[in-house]
A = this chain, B = another copy of it.
Amino acid sequence: MNTPEDVSGVSEEQSMQLVTAIKDYQLTHGNLIKWVQSEGVTRVPSVGVGVSALPTPFPRSLFDEAWQLQASMNELYVRIASDEDWLYGVLKPLFDHDDFLAALWDVHVTVKTAGVAQDIVCGIFRSDYMLHQPSTRESVSLKQVEVNTLCVAGACHAERVAGMHRHLQRKRDVRKPAEEQGAERLPVNDNIEQLVITLCKAHDAYTASPFVQRCVLMIVQAHNFNVADERPIEYGLWDSGIPCYRCEWQEVLQRTTLTASRKLLYRVNEAGVQAELEVSVVYYRAGYTADEYTEHEGRETRLRLELSCAIKCPDVLTHLTTFKAVQQALTEEGAVERFLSADDAHRVRATFMPIVKVDKVAEGQLFREIATDPRQASHFVLKPNLEGGGNNVYGTKIPDFLASIPDEQWSKYILMRLIVPPGDTSGVLMMMEELYEGPVISELGVLGSVVWKKEEGSEVEVVRNVAAGWTFKTKPSHVDEMNVVKGYGCFDCPKLAA
């Protein structure tokens, strides 16, 4: 059993001391969820986000592999976002059944028709992986769960939890000689600084009118319980001398103006200051759910932002790469190879699980087979084409679910072969109501930071392309979903081992 070494023989008293130390660390470091439903005028309660009580073992070589893959992963998605034809080919079949996707594509077409006002694009991506070992005879490998190319969340919480585990580790190491100390097994995390640097680079790349004050505009959802994962980036930008304002998605139309030269102006209306600033970077932390794209205001909101010459993080074409249909299309022969060198393509492809979709004849056949046979279905997860998660259907539940919806809706889903994590990893998790100790499954996310310039055709000049940090989440093995802020799973820190 691959166990966090320090848990064995922990007494009740010791574990209470540990969880108290953790709760206090979370409280003093803003590793918290805001109880927006209990918000008063002057006070709002908050509570710790789910975290592991001990770091969970993870193979160092595979952590390093994921990290080293990120530059290729970044490049892959940048190139997809620049290859309109390929992307159109992948997404077009879905437009009839997916209003959201169609609306986003419309935004792209409208912007293109108007002429692209900004050729620089910024991306903060995250590629998620799990460990895969279908049988004990095989070695453990890294398999990709999904790629997120907008509204990437969890970076701030991940940094706090990494800091917390480093603190707890140095306490455990207090009497150990240097060579036995565990801190170096916990990878450093400076996500917040890295994301701030990314936005700074984009901000600096924006050519403003002379003497005009620029700002980064963070587009956020109203009443967000997860502000602790957004605010630190805002503070970091101010610390770097760059004004950053939060603008709620619903207020964009009212608070911004698109000038004739397509500059985006933001009207600050805060106590003590009324001013109009030129937006250098639109940083999306909203606009990723279908229900934000209401017929008029919602679509107009995205359109205004995209039409502007502000640098988007990311633009709508890059947003469109985050759909599962793209992930599926990349599994097809030659797809990755279209965008990357043979070597890079090979390394990236090695992390893919097979994905089946309904709308090709042969695969449609296979999809139908799997969809109606619980035995076959047990090896798959059914994922909605839309980015996000939280609406997956697992294994044997798939046939009943697909039977419950009209056949023409099937194309909104892909079937991905389930990753089979090693069954021998144990962890200690502070779940919502209880301390869980038992078998666990972890998910490693590697953050990517990219700034690129679109050129003729589908060419790009990549100005910046680095791995910018990591997130790590762990859940009890018997729980299907991994969504920490909603109570499934916990933020965690890998304990790297040979």
Contact = CB atoms under 8 A, between A and B. Distances in A.
A366 to B, nearest CB: 43
B174 A430 contact: no
A117 interface: no
B42 A272 contact: no
A432 interface: yes
A19 B39 CA distance: 11
11 contacts: A19-B41, A23-B44, A24-B231, A28-B232, A29-B30, A30-B30, A42-B432, A43-B430, A172-B271, A173-B273, A174-B213
A7 B171 contact: no
Contacts of A42: 19, 23, 48, 50, 430-435
| Copy count, this protein chain | 2
A243 B213 CA distance: 47
Nearest to A170: B238
A171 B243 contact: yes
Nearest to A14: B271
A25 B54 CA distance: 28
A46 interface: yes
A167 interface: yes
Interface residues of A, number: 65
A94 interface: no
Interface in A80-109: none
Contacts of A434: 41-42
A173 B273 CA distance: 8
Contact of A277 (B15, B174, B243, B432): B174
Contacts of A44: 23, 27, 47-48
Interface string A420-461: 000000000011111100000000000000000000000000
Interface string A345-379: 00000000000000000000000000000000000
Contact of A231 (B10, B25, B46, B272): B25
A227 interface: yes
A372 B14 CA distance: 57
Contacts of A124: none
A275 interface: yes
Contacts of A23: 39, 42-44
A40 interface: yes
